Structure 1
């Protein structure tokens, strides 16, 4: 299968990871497209992994051969209230209301669509304050569904199986979920409940607990790491793949990302100021600014348009505003991960991550 191409590279800094095709971010698709983008605009993005979700209930898989496809049940970037699940099915929200999805029905989609990667079904929660018995039940159900998904996978299937890791605030259950999942014949792992963590520090503790029992040679994907600073901390703890919810959420707010990492960044000076990670294109300071967002950025927004024009689009509520800022933000995000991979190869990731923390501030 395609995922067998994943392998760890030897890098200078002990304890850090760099794999073939990682570190990178998966593009989140909704009903067949990256939000705000048309197929011709999607072609401007770097090929990688596209994440599609069963809750969108597409009739057929995309005719897409330039990217890998990852199939999961639920879009982690969308607001979600976990419905009460039963032992035999998952309740998922769709445009047609709540649907019941059994492992057999889900694996029927997997076997029919043959994505490069599918994520096994898992039970979700509504936050870290759920009762301990409810959290334990979710771990037990998730492992049972993992076994059923693996049993129902076609013997000749080329789709790699990723296991969901959960356990919420209970460290012993996080370790149990990871340990038991690693004993199954899976090809990778997904941390899907990190957005429930009450703080960045707690989120890192959850990551550490879940990753400790895992084999080094299999990739780890984390959903909803909410900002570049936390991404760098997660990289240092062993996460290989992330989703692209952050740049999409910033585009929805009218924020055009503006940050670089490592050798791409401007050389630091003793008087360098802490700067923001983005430009707010709703701010009148850009009304007469005839410069591009970033002269070095190859995206459509930066090569053809000015900040003043982007401000005008946002003020007039033009759909093109979201299109251009989304293209820009995803390009910045892709360059960010390319720079991280380069720094891991050079052996100076730790130093450059510390410089990034000093240089940029969160809003």
Structure 2
């Protein structure tokens, strides 16, 4: 299906097949790998609500060298165990602690986008992805990577190198692993993984030492920054995983790294894609954009930034955010 197709043309090709064969489910082949395409929500519901068809698709295997068996790629008992440990990290009270971080990064994004208001078309996906990466790195690991201001950062470059390689392998399932390993992409993959895993392991080791040497009453200090690697003292996802590991002896350092890496990958990639699609569709439906603008004016009034308590009042905003990514 994708053999000889340029990366930028894949989406258009899938849309073309959907127009030809849809809206009924249809099958395509990418080399020896079959794919079933669903277009109707009632068809998708059958799969999503199933307690039998829960194994991840073969594409997830391509992320294993980087993400291992984190929440994104695991299944069965391991998935349930790790999900139970991680879910408390997404309680509203925990997320509220990071509102300042999110606002700070969002303002930098807006400042960057202001520089592109010259009447010409611009691809803003990378701007959004860098912002999402800054937010997820600080909330998940408690560390600043400054993706929006330092795009040459070795860690940032490694993330995008691995993401590109995963996409490259996804449309070339006919290339066996032993061949891939001797290709330039295989070499780049090894180098990027060394950077990615080394960075995460360094942060985990440093954070573990910090939590062990500080009295428990100081673990929730919100704004201080440790000089070592610029690690925040606010409780992050990493802190909670480390504490869960201490209490229940459940997670090894490798488990923790895999979960952190999974959240960095999924948290910036899917968030950026969702926001980009939302902005595109709002731009093509000005009447929806106007309704949303009026809601923001009514709820926020003279405030330039919403508070955490304002968010539940933004009912109309929920619709494009939930619908557009789908």
TM-score, structure 1 length as denominator? 0.26
Between structures 1 and 2, the one with greater helix share: 2
Between structures 1 and 2, the one with greater strand share: 1
TM-score, structure 2 length as denominator? 0.28
